Amino acid sequence: MSKSSEFVDTGSLDWRETPSRGVHWKKLSYDRETGRSAVLIRFEPGAAYAAHRHPAGEEYYVLEGSLEDGGRTYGAGSYVYHPAGSAHSPSSKEGCVLFISLPGPIEPLG
Protein backbone atom coordinates (compact mmCIF):
# COMPACT_ATOMS: atom_id res chain seq x y z
CA MET A 1 0.00 0.00 0.00
CA SER A 2 1.47 3.35 -0.98
CA LYS A 3 0.99 6.38 1.23
CA SER A 4 0.18 9.82 -0.08
CA SER A 5 1.92 13.06 0.81
CA GLU A 6 0.51 15.02 3.73
CA PHE A 7 0.19 18.75 4.32
CA VAL A 8 -0.54 20.38 7.67
CA ASP A 9 -1.31 24.08 8.06
CA THR A 10 0.24 24.48 11.51
CA GLY A 11 -1.23 27.96 11.88
CA SER A 12 -4.73 26.51 11.86
CA LEU A 13 -3.99 24.02 14.66
CA ASP A 14 -4.64 24.90 18.30
CA TRP A 15 -1.89 24.40 20.86
CA ARG A 16 -2.80 21.45 23.12
CA GLU A 17 -1.99 21.05 26.81
CA THR A 18 0.64 18.54 27.95
CA PRO A 19 0.91 17.05 31.44
CA SER A 20 3.69 19.63 32.06
CA ARG A 21 2.50 23.13 32.94
CA GLY A 22 3.53 25.75 30.39
CA VAL A 23 4.38 23.21 27.68
CA HIS A 24 2.01 22.86 24.69
CA TRP A 25 2.07 20.83 21.49
CA LYS A 26 0.66 20.51 17.98
CA LYS A 27 0.50 17.11 16.27
CA LEU A 28 1.87 17.23 12.73
CA SER A 29 1.82 13.50 12.00
CA TYR A 30 1.30 10.20 13.79
CA ASP A 31 1.59 6.58 12.62
CA ARG A 32 -0.61 4.29 14.75
CA GLU A 33 1.27 1.17 13.64
CA THR A 34 4.77 2.33 14.63
CA GLY A 35 4.11 5.18 17.05
CA ARG A 36 6.26 7.48 14.89
CA SER A 37 5.26 11.11 15.25
CA ALA A 38 6.26 14.66 14.39
CA VAL A 39 5.17 17.52 16.64
CA LEU A 40 5.71 21.17 17.43
CA ILE A 41 6.34 21.87 21.11
CA ARG A 42 6.12 25.30 22.73
CA PHE A 43 7.68 26.05 26.13
CA GLU A 44 6.50 29.18 27.90
CA PRO A 45 9.29 31.07 29.74
CA GLY A 46 10.34 29.09 32.82
CA ALA A 47 8.51 25.90 31.79
CA ALA A 48 9.95 22.39 32.10
CA TYR A 49 8.79 19.07 30.64
CA ALA A 50 8.55 16.14 33.06
CA ALA A 51 11.34 13.55 33.01
CA HIS A 52 10.83 10.95 30.29
CA ARG A 53 12.67 8.30 28.25
CA HIS A 54 12.88 7.84 24.49
CA PRO A 55 12.98 4.06 23.87
CA ALA A 56 13.40 4.65 20.11
CA GLY A 57 15.30 7.98 20.28
CA GLU A 58 14.42 11.59 19.50
CA GLU A 59 15.50 14.38 17.17
CA TYR A 60 14.62 18.03 17.59
CA TYR A 61 15.32 21.37 15.97
CA VAL A 62 14.98 24.64 17.90
CA LEU A 63 12.89 27.04 15.80
CA GLU A 64 12.65 29.94 18.27
CA GLY A 65 14.10 30.81 21.68
CA SER A 66 16.34 28.42 23.58
CA LEU A 67 16.06 25.07 25.37
CA GLU A 68 18.09 23.77 28.33
CA ASP A 69 18.70 20.03 28.01
CA GLY A 70 21.31 17.78 29.58
CA GLY A 71 23.30 20.67 31.07
CA ARG A 72 23.53 22.60 27.79
CA THR A 73 21.56 25.41 26.21
CA TYR A 74 20.46 25.11 22.58
CA GLY A 75 19.42 28.25 20.72
CA ALA A 76 17.41 28.81 17.56
CA GLY A 77 18.91 26.84 14.68
CA SER A 78 20.25 24.02 16.91
CA TYR A 79 19.65 20.37 15.98
CA VAL A 80 19.83 17.73 18.73
CA TYR A 81 19.73 13.93 18.43
CA HIS A 82 19.12 11.70 21.46
CA PRO A 83 19.76 7.97 20.88
CA ALA A 84 17.38 5.15 21.74
CA GLY A 85 17.02 4.72 25.49
CA SER A 86 17.99 8.28 26.37
CA ALA A 87 16.16 10.13 29.16
CA HIS A 88 15.90 13.82 30.04
CA SER A 89 13.80 16.64 31.48
CA PRO A 90 14.20 19.68 29.20
CA SER A 91 13.30 23.22 30.25
CA SER A 92 13.39 26.74 28.86
CA LYS A 93 14.22 29.95 30.73
CA GLU A 94 13.17 32.27 27.90
CA GLY A 95 10.63 30.05 26.13
CA CYS A 96 11.02 28.26 22.82
CA VAL A 97 9.38 26.43 19.94
CA LEU A 98 10.75 23.07 18.76
CA PHE A 99 10.12 20.71 15.86
CA ILE A 100 10.42 17.16 17.22
CA SER A 101 10.61 13.87 15.35
CA LEU A 102 10.00 10.70 17.37
CA PRO A 103 10.40 7.21 15.88
CA GLY A 104 8.26 5.84 18.74
CA PRO A 105 6.33 6.89 21.85
CA ILE A 106 7.96 8.29 24.98
CA GLU A 107 7.85 6.76 28.49
CA PRO A 108 7.17 9.06 31.47
CA LEU A 109 9.61 8.60 34.38
CA GLY A 110 8.57 8.58 38.05
- Tens digit of each residue's pLDDT (9 = 90 or more) over 17-30: 999 999 999 999 99
How many other C-beta atoms lie within 10 A of the C-beta of residue 102?
A: 20
Q: Are 95 and 47 in contact (CB under 8 A)?
A: yes
Q: What's the pLDDT at 110?
A: 75
Size (the chain), residues: 110
- Give me the chain's average pLDDT, please: 95
Task: Give the span between the Cα atoms of 65 and 77, in whole angstroms.
Answer: 9
Task: Give the span between the Cα atoms of 79 and 60, in whole angstroms.
Answer: 6
Residues 6+ apart with CB under 8 A from 21: 47
Q: Output phi, psi for 17, to 5 deg.
A: -70, 150
Confidence of residue 3 (pLDDT cuts 50, 70, 90): confident
pTM of the model: 0.91
What mean pLDDT do residues 77-86 have? 97
Q: What's the pLDDT at 100?
A: 98
Q: What is the pLDDT of residues 54-74, one digit of tens each?
A: 999 999 999 999 999 999 999
